[in-house]
Amino acid sequence: LLIIMANDPSKGSRTPTKSRASLLKHKTRSPGESVRESEKSLQKLLEDFEDGKLNAFGNSDMLRKLNEIREIQEKLTLRHFEIDQMRIRHDSSTEGYKDEASLHELTQTLEKLGAKIQSLHSTVNDGEM
């Protein structure tokens, strides 16, 4: 339903008028037409993405930095689980385990990750995105 608002000088506000609405033609699409148009649009979007025409992160340097951050996060998570497994094995055995060295390693990696994220944040705030 299409209703157009028109100014009514006596009321000082906008009121709906059906006379103008009747002048506009409303094109009704069948569900099949809408689906086909949506499919075409999505296919075009996919092609543009695959061709590298879409760039949601600004320049390629931004994307590189985001990938570096993701890689550091993945390595940090993996190393954290490895260290946890070593700690569990150590608790159930008599072999030595260096808790402090492992925590230092995780802390250093976390600091590196923080610096990368801060660098990315600075880049975005400087308008390079």
Sign of the alpha-carbon torsion through 65, 68, 74, 78 = negative
- pLDDT for position 53: 75
Cβ(62)–Cβ(122) below 8 Å: no
- pLDDT for position 57: 60
Q: What is the DSSP string of 67-88?
A: HHHHHHHHHHHHHHHHHHHHHH
Distance CA 16, CA 7 (A): 9
Q: Report how far apart the first and last C-alpha atoms of the chain are (Å, whole number).
A: 42
Q: Tokens 């009514």, residue?
A: 8
Query: What's the pLDDT tens digit per position in 53-90?
Result: 776 666 677 888 888 999 999 999 999 998 888 888 87
Cβ(2)–Cβ(20) below 8 Å: no
CA distances from 5 to 2, 22, 24, 25, 127 (A): 10, 13, 13, 16, 41
- pLDDT for position 114: 93
- pLDDT for position 33: 80
Token pair recorded at residue 99 = 């808790």
- pLDDT for position 1: 42
Q: Which residues of the chain have pLDDT under 70?
A: 1-29, 55-59, 92-98, 127-129
Token pair recorded at residue 86 = 């070593």
